[in-house]
Amino acid sequence: MPTTFDPLSSSAPFHKLFDLTGTTAIVTGAGSVGPGIGIGRASAILLADAGARVGLLDIDRAAAEETHRMISRRGGTSLVAIADLAEDRAVLEAVSQVVANFGPVNTLVNNVGIVGPGGTAEFVDLEAWDAGMRVNVKSMVIASRHVVPIMRSAGGGSIVNISSIAGLGGGYPSLFYPTSKGTIINLTKAMATQHGRDGIRVNTVAPGQVLTPRIEMRGLSTEMRAARNHISALGIEGTGWDPAYAVVFLASRAARWITGVVLPVDGGVTGTLPLESPPSK
């Protein structure tokens, strides 16, 4: 585990704490469901910008290869490894491919996820429920089971699980999405306890209503986007880059004493309690 950075006894500049040169990262769901910047793609690009060699794991080859091209244009290093991330053997082969090319994994970003089926407990499609939990939760367990031994042998590492503020409470119209995202939060806390003495930190980033290609595909009107922005304390729109900045921080040496944490990146939605409607314009 990285030792404490003491700025009074070191000549190295503070920003070097965020330098990931010489490390290897894996991002699951590193492509994007459409043109633009989703959280997985943004995380992969920023990790590469910080100097990491990045394995881009995705089931969609074209989407992952576009992320690879974007990283290459910025001078970064990455490779594409195609896998159904809820299939144990496929993930093992993908992780092995990354390790063979880049060396031991220091950072794992478990990002892959879907919205899943709608409906309450009365009406949700149970087969779709099982398929959704396979993607949103099982994939994180599988990726972690193949990366944790590598991190342990290397002396530690950082795992960042992407959840959602929907997993922090009720108020969501469907049952599946907040349930799966809440499960990720407790998965993170359990893993942080189980692997901390191995030097492995495990944290969650919980994005709010950021604008990503998946959201844009829903065809949000100007009014709908304005309404989404009004519920945040800042009143501005987040993008896929905002959670990704948090990912890079949690992967860095600056976060060496942070584990088991749920970090909302939501413009202040979870930190405020609106007592009145926003003023009309």
Active site residues: 177
CB 79 within 8 A of CB 62: no
How many other β-carbons are positioned within 10 Å of the β-carbon of residue 253?
16
177 Cα distance to chain centroid? 16
Between CA 97 and CA 92 the distance in angstroms is: 9
Give the contacts of 205 (CB within 8 A, at least 6 positions apart): 160, 161, 162, 163, 243, 246, 247, 250, 263, 265
CB 40 within 8 A of CB 111: yes
85 Cα distance to chain centroid? 14
Between CA 242 and CA 89 the distance in angstroms is: 33
CB 25 within 8 A of CB 251: yes
Torsion of CA 31, 34, 39, 44, to 10 degrees: 30
HSE toward the beta carbon, residue 233, CA cutoff 13 A: 10
Helices vs. strands in the chain: H and E counts, helices first: 9, 7
